[in-house]
């Protein structure tokens, strides 16, 4: 994509966004639409926050589980039962 196309696309997106904001905030129909949409948006924001909290809890549980596995591997290596020690780090997703 060349510079002209990017400028045109940015201007088009800006015009559409500006038109939508103007409609929602400057017209009576837009105000009514906002009044209908806002409770749903509030619910959506609440759900996203709960999902984020659940993801943080899952991430913490994964870290603790990974730490327990590393401790078990170290204990096994110290006693000579397994003969190997993990030297890497947990996957980047954690």
What pLDDT, in 10s, does the model give residues 35-83? 999 999 999 999 999 999 999 999 999 999 999 999 888 877 766 555 5
**Residue range of the domain that includes 49:** 3-79
pLDDT at residue 24 greater than cutoff 60: yes
Instruction: Give a yes or no: residue 93 inside a domain.
Output: no
Mean pLDDT of 24-38: 93
| Residue 69, C-beta contacts closer than 8 angstroms, at least 6 positions apart | 86
Question: Could you tell me which residues come within 8 angstroms of residue 83 by beta carbon, excluding any fewer than 6 positions away?
Answer: 77
* Nearest alpha-carbon partner for 37 in 49, 52, 25: 25
Provide the domain count of the chain.
1
CA separation for the pair 17, 88 (Å, rounded): 47
- 52 within domain boundaries: yes
58 in any annotated domain: yes
Q: Tell me, yes or no, whether 87 lies in a domain.
A: no
- What is the value of pTM for the model shown? 0.46
Give a yes or no: residue 7 inside a domain. yes
Q: Within a domain: residue 62?
A: yes
Residue 86 lies in a domain: no
């Amino acid at each position: 994509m060349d510079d002209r196309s990017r400028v045109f696309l940015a201007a088009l997106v800006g015009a559409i966004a500006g038109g939508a904001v103007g409609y929602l905030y400057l017209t009576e129909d837009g105000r009514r639409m906002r009044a209908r949409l806002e409770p749903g948006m509030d619910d959506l924001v609440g759900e996203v926050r709960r999902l984020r909290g659940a993801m943080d809890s899952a991430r913490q549980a994964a870290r603790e589980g990974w730490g327990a596995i590393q401790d078990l591997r170290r204990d096994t290596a110290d006693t000579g039962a397994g003969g190997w020690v993990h030297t890497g780090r947990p996957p980047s997703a954690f």
